[in-house]
Structure 1
Amino acid sequence: MEIGLQREGEEAPPRQNLGTNQSGMRDYNERLVLSLLRRNGSLAKTEIARMTGLSAQTVSVIMRRLEAEELLVRGDPQRGKVGQPSIPMSLNPDGAFFLGLKIGRRSSELALIDFCGTIRRTCRHSYAYPTPAETIRLVTADMDEIAGSLAPRDWERVAGLGIAIPFQLWNWADAAGAPPGAMDGWREVDIRAAVAEKCPFPVYLQNDATSACGAELVFGDPPARGDFVYLYLGAFVGGGVALGGRLFGGRTGNAGALGSMPVPDRNGKTRQLIDVASLSALEKRLLASGRDTTHLWVSPDDWGAQGPEESAWIEEAAHGLAHAILAASAVIDFQTAVIDGWLPLSVRAGIVERTAHRLAGLDSEGIALPAVREGTVGRHARALGGASLPLADRFLVGAQSAF
């Protein structure tokens, strides 16, 4: 997350669109305090004043206001050698709630998260391919179920819903195995507007892989910083880009669409990364060998015993990912390449290890190779990324760019 300070008399950062009056400055500084607490867990007022440069009195006013709004809670007093004990403050998990909707090519997921980013409830559905009408029906039913599980006070504190969805979803009909024309309805529907009609709160929308990258920024452990390229292995692989600890969406919001990047396969034939590093590619291998593929979509925590098909796919995926990371690094000098996905942790670790090994063996003269590491959010990254959209828009300093 990008952290900055607005002092009295200064204009708000241009990317924030908060205005330059006193109200806008107060809103920015409240976001700043909340962002610092999200990153650090808990802080005393004196620590916040030192980190921001705000006066102790200003910080006290901000903290009292946020506590009155039930966004912060007090910790136990910490006694030092001299003076009054300091009281650490932290985010109140029940201070606000957010919904994240992942609409995927093979499954949907609606997640409710609290103010600290903990998933409180999920509703998930698998399907052969998505259609707008069925998706809206499922979302409506899932929201009713979640609303019914919450106290009225908590449902009133839901600050928004973010949708994470592949852009131009209709173009993936063949790859998803849908009948001709079955997904054409996505050309006409405005899914954000359709969902917003069912909601008493704001609705946001962002590319699914970019949303997953945003989840790593906001909820990663530790939160990702600096410049990194992000790859998420789902039914189809996708990516995102973060620059300076901030999502970079590009002109159309689709920056980091690494699934479309041409890469050589292990036979030297040029293919798109989506054809070699997606779970759909593994599914084809398993089906060709007569094996069941249900576990890929319903058991992301444990695939059970792995056979030669999984091992071959991991090698093929790592080969393609390494070439994609190298090509991306020739354009932007990334510090890190982060890999996550709808995968068991052991499989993710294996892919990261093999990708790093492959990358080190490529001709990278003139390029400083990024470190390759695992993501920390895991299989819920896209839904959490969707939920991060309203969270960032209302409560954080410049971590997201939604449209």
Structure 2
Amino acid sequence: MPKDEKTQSTSKVQNSLRPYNERLLINLIRTDGEMSKADLTRASGLSAQTATVIVNRLVEEGLLKAGKAVKGKVGQPSTPYSLNPEGALSIGIKVGRRSLEVASMSFDYKIVKRLVKRYDFPHLETIKRDVLSSIDALFGEMSQQQRDKVVGIGIAIPDDLSAWEATVGAPAGEMADWADADLANDVSEAFGLPVKSLNDASAACLAEIALGNSARHACFAYFYIGTFIGGGVAIGGQLFNGQHNLAGAIASLPIAATSSGVAPQLLEGASLHYLEQAANAAGLNEESFYHDDDIDAPFTAIFHEWLETAAPQIAFAAMSVQAFLDPDAIIVDSSLHPKLTFKLIDKVRTALSSHYDHRGLAQLNVSAGENGLSARAIGSGIVPFLSEFSLESSF
């Protein structure tokens, strides 16, 4: 999950951005739900005639659908318009340390079908084969009309995978091919669709922007604790990438000042990889941390031992982020079972209140993310829609 500038890649086949006013109306409806033509005229600042023409065109194309007319106290009945879930589709791919997820997504950001493959470590040729076969399988379940509505493919993938060979337990040399790999281009050439890849933590942040953030924070920092910890930054409802696509690279934050040697980074203590290592050393199945509603005493002991290291480090990083970004909130999510994520957040809050001087800072608001284990896969499916329909030029 550590970020690397070169990993942000796009295939040669490019999305064609829709006209700005079309994107504007689609985004207004995506944000506010059903809206009438009069609502859209007021919210967009467009003339009534322009808004009407655009809405009619989007309905004809199948991107919007008309609801049942509602009678008001005066005037003509008002017809609400909403996104048509079947109006456009995408494919999202999440490449993880131990699993691959490939999913189809509807225009309302709901996962339609998800395929999961598991492996011991991410071997490039195995991943490539499984990605292509999984996309083939998803297309095989679609009608021709549905296939024609797929706007693109998104890939959420940890950066610089070749550098983490020893850490993930892969045999020497087995992950070296990732250094020169271009999975986005390989997938694009296979299916003739635009493909965009981004850091998996950035993808999780996108999912939080689109389908989480219930408090509607205008600016938040996002921490995602997965195999390796990572993060993102949301400003004005958009993912902020920075000048080198490295904004939110919290994994690389030092967790101590040093005058000799090399300061350790956040990823070295606050990542779930180390929790999994401890479980494996004790002969326990690490999957319990992700899927079991209740974990028994041996798992609990290992989890709390990991918490004693991870939570203070995450709190240290939160203080640093608060000082430099001054966000409305720091949203913390993880691939752990939700109960364990909440325990982690409680421990971080305790560390923040007990061990840090907050003078000169706004009150820290540490909140729980809302997508959990599915965040990265959801974000990968959202990326292709943003490439065609977002108001933001970076996609």
- Corresponding residue for residue 334 of structure 1: 327
Please tell me whether residue 385 in structure 1 is matched to residue 376 in structure 2: no
1:273 counterpart = 2:266: yes
In structure 2, the CA distance between the partners of 1:208 and 1:315, relative to structure 1 (3 Å rule), is same
For residues 62 and 336 of structure 1, what CA distance do their matches in structure 2 show?
36
Equivalent in 227, 235, 253 of residue 235 of structure 1: 227
Task: Identify if the C-alpha distance between structure 1 residues 124 and 301 changes in structure 2 by more than 3 Å, giving closer, same or farther.
Answer: farther
Distance in 2, matches of 1:315 and 1:274, equals 15
Q: Deviations over 1:216-271 (max 9, x none)?
A: 11222538542211111111111111222221212321221111212259xxx963
Question: 1:297-336 residue pairs with structure 2 within 5 A?
Answer: 299-300=290-291, 302=293, 304-305=295-296, 306-336=299-329
- Tell me how large the CA RMSD over aligned residues is: 2.2
Aligned residues: 373
Question: Which one is further off, 227-236 or 351-360?
Answer: 351-360
Structure 1 pair 318/261, CA: closer, same or farther in 2 (3 Å)? same
In structure 2, runs of 5+ residues without a counterpart are 1-15
1:311 is displaced (CA, Å) by 2.3
1:107 aligns with 2:99: yes
Q: Which AA in structure 2 matches 1:375?
A: G
Aligned partners of 1:71, 1:204: CA distance in 2, in Å? 22
- How far apart are 1:301 and its partner, in Å? 6.3
Mean alpha-carbon deviation: is it higher for 190-199 or for 153-162? 190-199
Q: Residue 374 in 1 paired to residue 375 in 2?
A: no
| 1:282-331 per-position Cα deviation (integer Å, ceiling 9, x unaligned) | 112212333222445xx546464342111222343222111111111222
Partner of 1:360: 353
Is 1:197 paired with 2:189?
A: yes
> Over residues 140-192 of structure 1, what are the superposed CA-to-partner deviations in whole Å (9 max), with x where a residue is unaligned?
11011111111221111110001111111111112111122111100121111
Highest RCO, 1 vs 2 (Cα 8 Å, sep ≥ 6): 2
**If the length of structure 2 is used for normalisation, what is the TM-score?**
0.89
Secondary structure at 1:276's aligned position in 2? helix
Match of 1:164 among 156, 164, 167: 156
Letter in 1 for 2:197: L
Aligned to 1:50: 42
1:62 alignment partner in structure 2: 54
| Whole-Å separation in 1 of the counterparts to 2:308 and 2:37 | 51
Q: 1:28 Cα deviation (Å)?
A: 0.6
TM-aligned CA distance change 1:115 to 1:208, over 3 Å: same
The residue matched to 1:249 in structure 2 has which SS? coil
C-alpha contact 2:217 2:329 (8 A) present in aligned 1: no
Would the aligned equivalents of 2:222 and 2:231 in 1 still touch at CA under 8 Å? yes
Structure 1: distance between partners of 2:228 and 2:292: 18
- Percent identity for Structure 1 against Structure 2: 37
1:380 match: secondary structure = helix
1:184 aligns with 2:176: yes
Gaps of 5+ in 1: 1-22
